[in-house]
Amino acid sequence: MAWLAPSDALRAALSRILRVIVPLGALVLLSTVFLVSRNIDPDRAVEMANVDLAELTREPRIGAARFAGVTDDNTALVIDAETVRSREDVQQSGPIHLSLAAPHGELQFRSGRTVTFQAERGVLDQADDKLEMQGAVVLETSDGYVARMPSLVSALQRTHVVGTGGISGVGPAGEITADSVELSAKTDESGGYLLAFKGNVRLIYLPED
């Protein structure tokens, strides 16, 4: 049986079809990877720091990283960063120790309330169970509190956030200053949180117009 070589017209037609199909297929595949990597189920406990450790061993830093988990007291915790850099040799089975650029954290409580905190830089230390943030730190709650501070530490396995270095902020009642601020989960069934300003607390009441 003799094979017939494709004609020039057929080759040109196949070439045009492939030029359309291949880029579209790559776009669909890339979109699928993006959607899967950004999807987070806060009701399902996952490993903290679900990051590509193999990539960190090859490159000094990676970009647009996200970590997600559920604390022992059932609060969803999500941490984003513009870039991530390993502070030591990465071990596939060991705890991670990372430097974060422009970190942003969010606590999602069972009651539906949320608390966010962001800073210029941070360090995620899985061995010590903490995220340290420094530089223009801002903590904001869905109940209307906004507090600014030099540094903040958030636990990873439980709901506990402490801001220190002098606090200045605003709330539903007015302007607040304090030495520190502490946030933790309520121990009852409400699924909410406790926010406490501590040490030389001063409230300037601002009545509504």
Q: Are strands 174-178 and 146-155 parallel, antiparallel or unpaired?
A: unpaired
pLDDT of residue 64: 76
pLDDT of residue 200: 93
Query: How far apart are alpha carbons 67 and 131 in whole angstroms?
Result: 11
From 183, 177, 179, 139, select the one nearest 161 (Cα to Cα). 183
Query: How far apart are alpha carbons 47 and 123 in whole angstroms?
Result: 18
**What are the sequence ranges of the domains in the chain?**
10-38, 53-205
pLDDT of residue 147: 97
pLDDT of residue 95: 74
Angle at 89 between CA 78 and CA 82, to 5 degrees: 35
pLDDT of residue 206: 76
CATH classification for the domain delimited by 53-205, as one of 2.60.450.10, 2.160.20.60, 2.130.10.10, 1.10.357.10: 2.60.450.10
pLDDT of residue 160: 97
Neighbouring residues of 179: CB distance < 8 A, sequence distance ≥ 6: 164, 166, 167, 198, 199, 200, 201
pLDDT of residue 58: 58
pLDDT of residue 51: 59
pLDDT of residue 188: 86
Residue 107: both structure tokens together: 């606590």
pLDDT tens, the chain, 209 aa long = 444 444 555 555 545 544 544 444 443 433 333 333 334 444 443 444 555 556 555 556 677 788 888 999 999 999 999 988 876 665 555 677 889 999 999 999 999 999 999 999 999 998 899 999 999 999 999 999 999 999 999 999 999 999 999 999 999 989 999 999 999 999 888 889 999 999 999 999 877 75
pLDDT of residue 13: 53
pLDDT of residue 146: 97
pLDDT of residue 104: 96
Residue 196: both structure tokens together: 């406490």
